[in-house]
Amino acid sequence: MGKKKLTQKRLKELLRYDPETGEFYRLVTCGGRVEGSITGGRHHSGYWHIRIDRKKYNRSRLAFLYMKGYTPEYEIDHINRVKDDDRWVNLRHVTHRCNMQNKEININNTSGVMGIYWHKNRRKWQVKYSDKYFGLYRDFSRAYYANKTIRAKFRTCFA
């Protein structure tokens, strides 16, 4: 038989979330950890995890459960890309596709703009978005405009 699903009520019995700092504080002393102390630890991935009732949870997902009353169906995006910044204003519930749009530019990127690449053989700027090809451009400004237009059309998860 599986373990019971963590509820907002159970979470709030054990922890207090500070949306301004992104920290969780213990409301009860448990396992040598005293009431009022910050709880959790940084995982090697850079994200924080908190153990509740012998199960490990991602801190950002617990923030959603605490604030909204549900565990997100998809992913939690850290808007500023800082993995351990779990302040409420920095978190949003998005699909994997949207989460991947908010990532660092690849170190191999030659333009400095996500979606625009220098095509060496053809000596033109290539525009690609979400594994779709949108043409080659001699002029970078035209490639930039095309990229911006395409991103506006396909991007539904950003404000």
Annotate 17-79 with DSSP letters as a single string: EETTTTEEEESS-BTTBPTTSB--EE-TTS-EEEEETTEEEEHHHHHHHHHHSS--SSEEEET
Grouping H, G, I as helix, E, B as strand and the rest as coil, residue 69 is: coil
The rounded distance, in Å, linking the Cα atoms of 18 and 108 is 39
Closest CA to 113 of 157, 151, 81, 78: 151
The rounded distance, in Å, linking the Cα atoms of 133 and 71 is 36
Q: How many CB atoms lie within 10 A of CB 90?
A: 18
Q: Are strands 124-129 and 15-18 parallel, antiparallel or unpaired?
A: unpaired
pTM beyond 0.85: the answer is no
Enter the tokens of residue 44. 């090697």
pLDDT in tens, the chain (159 residues): 456 889 999 999 999 999 999 999 999 887 778 888 899 989 888 899 999 988 999 999 999 999 999 989 898 988 888 889 999 999 988 887 777 766 666 777 777 777 788 888 999 998 887 677 888 999 989 988 888 887 777 665 543
For domain 8-99, is the CATH number 1.20.200.10? Answer: no
